[in-house]
C-alpha cells in the first residue's frame, strides 16, 4: 500500500506502475460537471500520485478520465458510463439497492468488479456491450494482470 495515496482504490499494471485511481461516492444523479468539479477539488487539495486513468464511481454512473484528460483541471470526463448494467448483478447478490448502499459496500463491489477484470481470462471481444468503454479507453488492457490496492480506513 502506498503511504502517500488517499484514493479509495487503485490498480497497478503488470509492471507495477500506478495505472488507475478510483474515487467511490454514494451520491446519485451526479452531472459530469459536478463530477469534474469534485475531481478538481480532490486534486487541488492533495498530493495524490497521478495515474493515466481516473475513475469516479457513483451507484448510478461512472465517470472516467483517461490519459491527457486525467489531470487537466477543468476537463469533463472522457467517458460517462451507465453503472446499472455493471453494478446491478453485484447489488442483487448482496441484496442491496443502489440508493441504499453504504459507501464501504459500494467500494467492495467496485473492488470485486475491478478484480474480475484484473483476473479476466475473457477475450475483450466477448465483453458485455455495457462495458465496451473499457476496451475503447484502453483501460481493460491496462488492468489485466495488474494488482488492486485497497486503502485502509483512516
- pLDDT tens per residue across span 68-127: 555 656 688 999 999 999 999 999 998 888 888 999 999 999 999 999 999 987 666 667
* Position 79 in a domain: yes
Least confident of 1-10, 38-47, 101-110: 1-10
Q: Is 2 inside a domain boundary? A: no
With respect to residue 27, please indicate whether it lies within any of the assigned structural domains: yes
| Structural domain contains residue 144 | yes
Domain membership flag for residue 106: yes
Output the CA torsion 127→16→79→30 (10° steps): 110
The count of structural domains within the chain is 1
DSSP 77-99: PSEEEE-HHHHHHHHHHHT--GG
Contact 66, 21 (CB under 8 A): no
Task: For residue 1, tell me if it sits in a domain.
Answer: no
Note the pTM of the prediction, 2 decimals. 0.87
Q: Residue written as cell 468539479?
A: 37
Residue 98: domain span: 9-150
Sorting pLDDT into bands at 50, 70 and 90, what band is 14? very high
Amino acid at each position: 500500500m502506498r503511504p502517500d495515496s488517499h484514493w479509495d482504490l487503485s490498480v497497478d499494471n503488470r509492471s507495477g506502475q500506478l495505472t488507475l485511481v478510483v474515487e467511490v461516492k454514494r451520491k446519485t444523479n451526479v452531472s459530469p460537471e459536478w463530477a469534474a468539479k469534485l475531481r478538481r477539488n480532490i486534486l487541488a487539495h492533495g498530493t495524490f500520485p497521478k495515474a493515466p486513468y481516473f475513475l469516479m464511481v457513483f451507484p448510478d454512473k461512472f465517470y472516467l478520465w483517461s490519459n491527457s484528460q486525467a489531470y487537466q483541471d477543468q476537463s469533463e470526463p472522457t467517458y460517462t458510463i451507465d453503472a446499472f448494467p455493471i453494478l446491478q448483478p453485484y447489488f442483487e447478490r448482496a441484496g442491496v439497492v443502489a440508493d441504499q448502499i453504504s459507501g464501504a459496500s459500494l467500494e467492495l463491489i467496485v473492488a470485486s468488479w475491478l478484480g474480475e477484470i484484473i483476473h479476466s481470462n475473457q477475450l475483450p471481444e466477448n465483453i458485455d456491450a455495457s462495458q465496451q468503454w473499457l476496451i475503447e479507453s484502453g483501460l481493460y488492457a491496462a488492468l489485466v494482470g495488474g494488482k488492486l490496492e485497497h486503502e485502509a480506513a483512516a
